[in-house]
Amino acid sequence: MSRTGPRGHSPATNPAIFTRSPGVGWVRLAVDVPIALLILFCLRSLAVGQQADSALSEEEVTKRQAVWRELLDRQPAEYKIYLDTEKKTALSLRKVPVLRWANYTRSGGRKVRDAATYIWTAQGRPEVVACVFPMSEDGTTIRLDMGSLARRGLIAERDGRRVWYPKEPGVKLQPVPGSPAPAESAAARLRQMKELAIEFRSTLIGLRGDGSDREELRMLPQPVYRYESESPELLDGAMFFFVQGTDPESLLLLEAVREGSGYQWQYALARRSSGALMARYQEQTVWRIPTQHTPRNPAETRIEFDHRVPALW
């Protein structure tokens, strides 16, 4: 193969670089030789790094994932949360997350490869939910996005210091229109909750404000958490997630709540995203909330905390 470029130019003697493009012929790249060598060096270094990552054994990948997940699991445990201002009712953190998830689909944003959602409960009922995920590529910043699901105020402490104290309820339960009376058996009630849940639709209106990233969310087919409460006021309940990929963006609570001498199916919706959201029940809009970026006010029902952690590798 000839090493001569177009019109007799030799790549070895001319300070420009030529490349042959299929169907076009020689193309002159207006790049000085020293700059081109630097580019080639960087590309080679990147390739070596990618080869090193791909050279990890399956066992090593599994080990790294286990270490990372253990680090995630430790973050919610730093918080003690109480259901009242007198701190008489301490919530119980479920150490096993209700969902491990990833989000590779968020357009124009950072991809989340390994994250989890945790809940704190009282008498079985979920009162606080937290999505825990990396905020930096090297994993040294972990964010906790916490939201109240309580029907009254909360207090959260970290290292003995009060860091979150919403006085307002996190959710407002409402009757499910036209729903049947809760069934006698637990199995039949679960079927009822699934049937009611599929009548709800949730939409991520978007983060951009112009609606260009509007998306109909997918409801996971099974509840992520089922609870038969110890409280006589609550017979049964379940939590369903509406997701992007497997990343929760909004959630639905369905509960069989005491009403008079019997029980009634009631529902509440809550955000798990900073974006504007809406929900419909049988095509009737029943919930709509605006965009809420980086909530830091400890008196509000949703808050984010960033934890700095050492690099793992």
Query: CA 246, CA 220: separation in Å to the nearest integer?
Result: 8
Q: C-alpha distances in angstroms, 14 versus 3, 19, 67, 68, 205?
A: 12, 13, 53, 52, 56
In the chain, where are the structural domains located? 75-308
> CB-based contacts of 235: which residues, under 8 Å, 6+ apart?
182, 189, 228, 229, 256, 257, 258, 263
Q: C-alpha distances in angstroms, 17 versus 10, 25, 139, 277?
A: 9, 14, 40, 52
Q: Residue 238 in contact with residue 225, Cβ under 8 Å? A: yes
Query: CA 76, CA 79: separation in Å to the nearest integer?
Result: 6
pLDDT-derived band at 104, boundaries 50, 70, 90: confident
pLDDT in tens, 176-188: 999 999 999 999 9
Cβ count near 65 (within 10 Å): 12
pLDDT-derived band at 259, boundaries 50, 70, 90: very high
Q: Residue 173 in contact with residue 151, Cβ under 8 Å? A: yes
For position 110, what pLDDT does the model report? 58
pLDDT in tens, 117-168: 999 999 999 999 999 999 988 889 999 999 999 999 999 999 999 999 999 9
Has this prediction a pTM greater than 0.85? no
Q: Residue 274 in contact with residue 291, Cβ under 8 Å? A: yes
pLDDT in tens, 227-255: 988 889 999 999 999 999 999 999 999 99
